[in-house]
């Protein structure tokens, strides 16, 4: 039975499901490639290679979809309709991507927690941050064209371009050239729990990994200290706060 015969046996709903499953397989295969290259060659090398792969893969995939679905793309594979979006609509799209990112994170956490238990879900979550934080830092440094060691001011810039910055309210206080205080004023996850009458989610273990690896990936000289993070007690004005410093 050839491929055409196999697809012919599917009804319309099954064909749609199969098509969408193709997107999932592409995403997973891409992630597996990055994970293995990182394992074999190290994270920095993998990130540098992904810089090239990501741009090429995006252009190839979007151009093929454009030809099939009848929309225009530029040489970089960016849809013309997307490029022509007004600034406010583009910002809305970016914010929506942040919400989707958080939703995916939450679905994974809840699925592992349901399948196993809270401890395993937290352990998986914390481990994910050891990979995502430095990757996000690498991508932001590329976007902003930051130097290798941009110092505290570079970190202040980078913190404003994290996915979390699109969905949470935060403050960044640059005390001086060697000292920055970051506060998460409104955390979407914690605020939702608060509205339900639940205690804060104890996210300190993840935060210690998340913020320290992000800061070091922006500038290896920066040290990170937790001021307070759940389950620590904290004031009503913020949920967690972090101290970033450069050595004297």
- Residue-wise pLDDT tens for the chain (248 aa)? 455 568 888 899 999 999 999 999 999 999 999 999 999 999 999 999 999 999 999 999 999 999 999 999 998 889 999 999 999 999 999 999 999 999 999 999 999 999 999 999 999 999 999 999 999 999 999 999 999 999 999 999 999 999 999 999 999 999 999 999 999 999 999 999 999 999 999 999 999 999 999 999 999 999 999 999 999 999 999 999 999 999 87
Which residues make Cβ contacts (< 8 Å) with residue 166, sequence separation at least 6? 94, 95, 97, 98, 99
Measure CA 97 to chain center: 10
Which residues make Cβ contacts (< 8 Å) with residue 148, sequence separation at least 6? none
In degrees, rounded to 5, the angle at the alpha carbon of residue 94 between the alpha carbons of residues 77 and 239 is 150
- Residue 79 and residue 101 in one domain: no
- At which of 84, 102, 130 does a domain end? 84
- Residue 78 and residue 100 in one domain: no
Do 217 and 196 touch, CB atoms closer than 8 A? no
In degrees, rounded to 5, the angle at the alpha carbon of residue 164 between the alpha carbons of residues 160 and 168 is 95
- Residue 50 and residue 39 in one domain: yes
- Residue 216 and residue 103 in one domain: yes
- Residue 56 and residue 109 in one domain: no
Does 208 fall in a domain? yes
- Residue 52 and residue 94 in one domain: no
Q: What is the pLDDT of residue 5?
A: 64
202: tokens are: 């104890």
- Residue 185 and residue 106 in one domain: yes
- Residue 96 and residue 178 in one domain: yes
Cα end-to-end span (Å), the chain: 71
- Residue 75 and residue 126 in one domain: no
- At which of 31, 61, 84 does a domain end? 84
Say how many C-beta atoms besides its own lie within 10 A of residue 212's C-beta. Answer: 20
Q: What is the pLDDT of residue 1?
A: 43
Buried b (16+ CB within 10 A) or exposed e, 95-105: eeebeeebeeb
* Domain range enclosing 23: 11-84
- Residue 76 and residue 98 in one domain: no
**Site of tokens 């190839």:** 60
- Residue 64 and residue 21 in one domain: yes
Alpha helices in the chain (DSSP H): 3-8, 12-41, 43-69, 80-83, 87-115, 118-144, 151-159, 188-195, 204-218
């Amino acid at each position: 039975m050839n491929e055409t015969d196999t697809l012919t046996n599917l009804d319309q709903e099954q064909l749609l499901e199969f098509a969408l499953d193709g997107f999932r397989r592409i995403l997973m295969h891409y992630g597996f490639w990055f994970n293995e290259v990182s394992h074999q060659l190290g994270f920095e090398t993998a990130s540098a290679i992904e810089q090239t792969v990501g741009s090429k893969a995006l252009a190839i995939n979007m151009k093929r979809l454009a030809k099939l679905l009848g929309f225009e793309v530029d040489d970089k594979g960016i849809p013309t309709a997307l490029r022509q979006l007004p600034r406010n609509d583009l910002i809305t799209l970016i914010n929506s991507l942040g919400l989707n990112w958080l939703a995916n994170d939450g679905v994974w956490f809840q699925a592992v927690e349901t399948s196993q238990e809270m401890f395993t879900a937290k352990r998986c979550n914390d481990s994910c941050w050891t990979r995502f934080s430095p990757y996000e830092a690498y991508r932001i440094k590329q976007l902003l064209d930051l130097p290798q060691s941009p110092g505290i001011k570079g970190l202040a810039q980078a913190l404003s371009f994290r996915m979390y910055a699109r969905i949470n309210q935060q403050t960044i206080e640059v005390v001086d050239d060697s000292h920055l205080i970051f506060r998460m004023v409104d955390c979407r996850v914690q605020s939702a729990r608060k509205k339900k009458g639940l205690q804060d989610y104890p996210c300190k273990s993840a935060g210690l990994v998340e913020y320290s690896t992000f800061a070091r990936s922006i500038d290896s000289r920066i040290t990170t200290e937790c001021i307070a993070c759940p389950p620590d007690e904290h004031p009503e004005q913020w949920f967690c706060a972090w101290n970033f410093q450069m050595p004297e």
